[in-house]
Amino acid sequence: MNSIVSTSPVRVSLKGRDLVTWLDYSTEEVHELLSLAQYLKKNPYSKVLEGKTLGMIFEKSSTRTRVSFEAGMLQMGGHAIYLNARDIQLGRGESIADTARVLSSYVDGIMIRTFETEKVTELAKYASVPVINGLCDTYHPCQALADVLTILELAGTLKGLKVVYTGDGNNVAHSFMILCAKLGMDVVVSCPVGYEPDKEIVGKTVELAGMNGGSFTLSYDPVEAVKNADIVYTDVWASMGQEEEAVKRLKDFKPYQVNEQLLQHAAPQVKFLHCLPAHREEEVTAAVIDGPCSAVFQQAENRLHVQKAILQSLFV
């Protein structure tokens, strides 16, 4: 039987903040969020958000983001409202600024899952309640926090680990490399020419790694990249909105598939991560994602726990 708790031993003083990117948060604040997520995983039910409401705007479909936020609010005594962009005035030409002001008078926080990063930043600019980036073209911060929590559970530590992301230098890669560098890990991103992470984000990641005792490497050789890796992470090769590029991407990314042969070059205890949904036999083989080194479902579950830590910290 799950225990009911109303408080936690961890207090993260982030009330009223937005979460657009981890570039806006200190290493200490991230560690506190991770500690709170660990606590909430062991003590899932409370009334800490009783009377609180989260408005959730979805312009991109979702499984993990929607269910984890909605379940998280419910488990902490609050309520979540699903707002499909086709059903609200934002999808019919109402400005983001007006939407932000109106929703701020109804709810205690807003989560948005969208395409353009500018929509998230503009919503945060005009909203008087916290705005959480559930995903945009540049960042996926909630996913990255779940990734790091999973790595901490698997390895028992973070600083000094070698973590390798192989595949498209996309929003998932951006948030993962930023957060891992901020926490002192040795980060490698391996991708084909033309699919590198954003240059400005690479520059900031290099700076963060230097400040926190880690490193950042961009590699075009997946075998070299995964040598002695503690964690190997990948994502789909064609994200939502890139369907027309799928055939070309399948060809360009084929050498970057995570398979048993590639993982032979990693550390013996290597663990595999994937943010899901996965396309078996494309970016990863079934033997890997369904095999003993895979932690993808532990990683997926952790979306719930980090989402709850974010909500409690920003709302209370």
> Which residues are known to be catalytic?
113, 140, 143, 235, 275, 303
Q: How many other C-beta atoms lie within 10 A of the C-beta of residue 38?
A: 18
Query: Which string of b and e fits 270-281 if b means at least 16 CB within 10 Å?
Result: bbbbbbbebeee
User: Taking the CA atoms of the chain, what radius of gyration do you get in angstroms?
Assistant: 19
CB 198 within 8 A of CB 138: yes
> Tokens 């360009």, residue?
252
- Three-state secondary structure call for residue 16: coil
> Tokens 């890796």, residue?
229
- In whole angstroms, give the CA distance from residue 4 to residue 50: 13
Pick the closest to residue 281 from 250, 247, 307, 248 (CA basis).
Answer: 250
Helix (H) or strand (E) holding 176: helix 171-182
